């Protein structure tokens, strides 16, 4: 089976919790706070790897979790960071968010990476919350929960040229003649059920050609087998449109065949109609095919498309076809590389630094505050701890949440919901001096911070 699609669930590692602890020393009744920070959780990363040829493995194992960050410990020890989980995928894998359908990335180059789920930040230990008025904070931050999501992976064949046409026109016979590929060949339609790839040597060039299952009228709407494989054609630089000069399939007319296939390509994707192509009239060895060939030739000349009459059986005309396709692919490839290098990995990720938030009215007459960084402040707070709660309240004041709520009409006693936690609105007078000591949310805990890392060194 040719597997080209998979749907997987990924979950990054949760951040480890910060530690609240106090120094214990002989003869010192109460030492200062010394709780270390929690470690960052590991990311889940997709990496394009030419050694992987299918997405098959992702059909069998669908759940992937990165390691969590370790909790901080006393004596200023930071928790270890969780290891990233790296998932290798074939070159040409397109990644989408399964829930929203949003395009996340097209992994085409060897080694190209995409963070598909970001690990949670580690919580800060209590040493971070010392202020002149509170020298012994008895609280620390919880770790940030990790990102999780379902994504779909879709692999598109990376062939330079695709043999496209009605069933039984001789596409598989042609790829067998041109390359070492040995697909099944038979005189009934839909012999080829999955694309075959072959490497073709053309003078000093070589190119990869795909033999795609036959298309029929309505393929773009799901008729026949061609539908699933039209997608593979999207990625090829060149289309080798093959017609049967004997017109044997369904007693068809060659020019009608050409028009039908062109129509299917176009209705599948507009840009396919403009894709460079060559026309190939196959089975010229059969008697009475010269007239059909002449008609195709006239059509090709009129539309300025290169035309070749060939026989996959005798080999007639094949050298000229292969050489010309080799040249065209060579030129097109140079253009594609140029375009690809300007395309960046587009991983759209709500940055944690996003400070904006929104205040909404709730059905119960209260207010809800929505915004990632504000929600995160709440999620990382040990709600049952009064000191932690008081600190959170100051942070919310500093972030402008209290002001925004008051502006929206909130008065003391109103219900305020943030990240699923409900508070009672209560305007507290906080001095500017007090706010000064509220650390900014975005202080990154990195290796080499003023806190020594005693054990469990971060892996990055």
Segment 115 to 134, residues that bind ligand GTP, using CB under 6 A: none
Instruction: Give the nearest distance from C-beta 63 to Mg ion in angstroms.
Output: 37
Rule CB under 5 A: say whether 192 interacts with Mg ion.
Answer: yes
Cα–Cα distance for residue pair 150/116, rounded to 1 Å = 10
β-bridge partners, 151: 8, 97
Which region among 40-48, 122-130, 186-194, 427-435 touches ligand GTP (by CB under 6 A)?
186-194
Residue 11 vs 231, nearer CB to Mg ion? 231
Cα–Cα distance for residue pair 79/38, rounded to 1 Å = 5
Which region among 97-105, 107-115, 171-179, 408-416 touches ligand GTP (by CB under 6 A)?
171-179
Q: Which one of Mg ion, ligand GTP, none interacts with residue 299, CB within 5 to 8 A by kind?
A: none
386-398 vs 401-408: helix axis angle to the nearest 10? 70
Map tokens 């009672």 to a residue.
Answer: 424
Instruction: Count residues binding ligand GTP (CB under 6 A).
Output: 23
Map tokens 């396919």 to a residue.
Answer: 272
Question: Residue 111 is encoded by which pair of tokens?
Answer: 């080694």
- Report CA dihedral (428, 432, 437, 439) to the nearest 10 degrees: 80
Segment 370 to 399, residues that bind Mg ion, using CB under 5 A: none
Residue 153: closest CA among 355, 7, 348, 304: 7
Please list the alpha-helical segments (H only) found in 343-383.
Answer: 372-379
Residue 9 vs 249, nearer CB to ligand GTP? 249
The site string for ligand GTP over 187-206 (x = CB under 6 A, - otherwise) reads x-xxxx--------------
Which region among 148-156, 162-170, 255-263, 413-421 touches ligand GTP (by CB under 6 A)?
162-170
Rule CB under 6 A: say whether 21 interacts with ligand GTP.
Answer: no
Rule CB under 6 A: say whether 285 interacts with ligand GTP.
Answer: yes
Q: Which of 194, 313, 318, 408 binds ligand GTP (CB under 6 A)?
A: 313
Does residue 53 contact residue 428 with C-beta atoms inside 8 Å? no
Residue 249 vs 347, nearer CB to ligand GTP? 249
Q: Which one of ligand GTP, Mg ion, none interacts with residue 112, CB within 5 to 8 A by kind?
A: none
Question: Residue 436 is encoded by which pair of tokens?
Answer: 């000064």
Rule CB under 6 A: say whether 283 interacts with ligand GTP.
Answer: yes
Q: Is 415 exposed, middle or buried (0-12, 13-18, 19+ CB in 10 A)?
A: middle
Instruction: Count residues binding Mg ion (CB under 5 A).
Output: 4
Q: Which of 40, 73, 171, 241 binds ligand GTP (CB under 6 A)?
A: 171
Phi and psi at residue 340, in whole multiples of 5°? -65, -35
Q: Which one of Mg ion, ligand GTP, none interacts with residue 189, CB within 5 to 8 A by kind?
A: ligand GTP
Instruction: Give the nearest distance from C-beta 249 to ligand GTP in angstroms.
Output: 9
Cα–Cα distance for residue pair 199/91, rounded to 1 Å = 17
Residue 341: closest CA among 159, 109, 111, 110: 109
Rule CB under 6 A: say whether 76 interacts with ligand GTP.
Answer: no
Q: Which one of ligand GTP, Mg ion, none interacts with residue 196, CB within 5 to 8 A by kind?
A: none
Instruction: Give the nearest distance from C-beta 272 to ligand GTP in angstroms.
Output: 18
Instruction: Give the nearest distance from C-beta 209 to ligand GTP in angstroms.
Output: 13
Instruction: Give the nearest distance from C-beta 155 to ligand GTP in angstroms.
Output: 21
Does residue 414 contact residue 426 with C-beta atoms inside 8 Å? no
Instruction: Give the nearest distance from C-beta 58 to ligand GTP in angstroms.
Output: 28
Cα–Cα distance for residue pair 39/18, rounded to 1 Å = 8
Q: Which one of ligand GTP, Mg ion, none interacts with residue 190, CB within 5 to 8 A by kind?
A: ligand GTP
Measured CA distances, 411 to 155, 365, 374, 399, 405 (Å): 55, 12, 20, 18, 8
Task: Transcribe 127-170 into DSSP letters.
Answer: GGG-BTTBSS----PPPPPPPEEEEEEEE----SEEEE-STTSS
Residue 249 vs 425, nearer CB to ligand GTP? 249
Segment 211 to 240, residues that bind ligand GTP, using CB under 6 A: 213-214
Q: Which one of ligand GTP, Mg ion, none interacts with residue 320, CB within 5 to 8 A by kind?
A: none
Report the alpha-carbon angle 353-354-359, nearest 5.
140
Rule CB under 5 A: say whether 173 interacts with Mg ion.
Answer: no
Instruction: Give the nearest distance from C-beta 268 to ligand GTP in angstroms.
Output: 17
β-bridge partners, 148: 11
Question: Residue 75 is encoded by which pair of tokens?
Answer: 């004596």
Cα–Cα distance for residue pair 264/224, rounded to 1 Å = 12
Q: Which of 21, 126, 172, 220 binds Mg ion (CB under 5 A)?
A: 172
Does residue 87 contact residue 93 with C-beta atoms inside 8 Å? no
Site of interaction with ligand GTP (CB under 6 A): 167-173, 185-187, 189-192, 213-214, 282-283, 285-286, 311-313
Residues lying near Mg ion in the complex (CB under 5 A) are found at 171-172, 191-192
């Amino acid at each position: 089976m040719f597997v080209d699609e998979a749907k997987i669930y990924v979950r990054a590692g949760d951040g480890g919790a910060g530690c609240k602890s106090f120094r214990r020393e002989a003869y010192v009744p109460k030492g200062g706070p010394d709780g270390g920070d929690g470690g960052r959780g590991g990311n889940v990363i997709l990496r394009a790897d030419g050694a992987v040829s299918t997405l098959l493995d992702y059909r069998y194992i669908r759940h992937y979790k990165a390691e969590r960050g370790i909790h901080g410990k006393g004596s200023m020890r930071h928790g270890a960071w969780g290891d990233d989980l790296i998932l290798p995928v074939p070159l040409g894998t397109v990644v989408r968010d399964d829930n929203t359908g949003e395009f996340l990335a097209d992994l085409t180059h060897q080694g190209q990476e995409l963070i598909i789920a970001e690990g949670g930040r580690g919580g800060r230990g209590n040493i971070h919350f010392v202020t002149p008025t509170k020298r012994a904070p008895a609280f620390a931050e919880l770790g940030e929960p990790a990102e999780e999501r379902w994504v779909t992976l879709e692999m598109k064949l990376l062939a330079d040229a695709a043999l496209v046409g009605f069933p039984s026109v001789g596409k598989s016979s042609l790829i067998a003649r041109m390359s070492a590929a040995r697909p099944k060949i038979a005189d009934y339609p839909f012999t080829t059920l999955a694309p075959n790839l072959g490497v073709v040597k053309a003078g000093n060039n070589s190119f990869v050609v795909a033999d795609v299952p036959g298309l029929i009228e309505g393929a773009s709407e799901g008729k026949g087998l061609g539908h699933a494989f039209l997608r593979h054609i999207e990625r090829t630089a060149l289309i080798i449109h093959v017609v049967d000069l004997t017109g044997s399939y369904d007693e068809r007319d060659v020019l009608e065949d050409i028009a039908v296939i062109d129509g299917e390509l176009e209705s599948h994707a507009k840009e396919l109609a403009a894709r460079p192509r060559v026309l190939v009239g196959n089975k010229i060895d059969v008697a009475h095919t010269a007239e059909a060939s002449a008609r195709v030739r006239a059509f090709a000349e009129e539309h300025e498309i290169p035309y070749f009459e060939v026989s996959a059986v005798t080999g007639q005309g094949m050298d000229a076809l292969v050489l010309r396709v080799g040249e065209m692919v060579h030129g097109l490839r140079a253009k594609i590389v140029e375009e690809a290098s300007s395309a960046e990995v587009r991983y759209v990720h709500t940055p944690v630094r996003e400070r904006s938030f929104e205040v909404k009215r709730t059905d119960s007459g209260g207010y809800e505050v929505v915004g990632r960084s504000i929600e995160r402040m709440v999620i990382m707070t040990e709600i049952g701890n009064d000191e932690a709660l008081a600190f959170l309240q100051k942070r919310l004041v500093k972030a402008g949440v209290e002001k925004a709520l008051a502006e929206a009409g909130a008065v003391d006693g109103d219900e305020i919901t943030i990240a699923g936690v409900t508070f009672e609105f209560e305007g507290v007078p906080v001095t500017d001096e007090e706010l000064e000591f509220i650390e900014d949310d975005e202080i990154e805990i990195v290796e080499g911070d003023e806190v020594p890392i005693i054990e469990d060194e971060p892996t990055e």
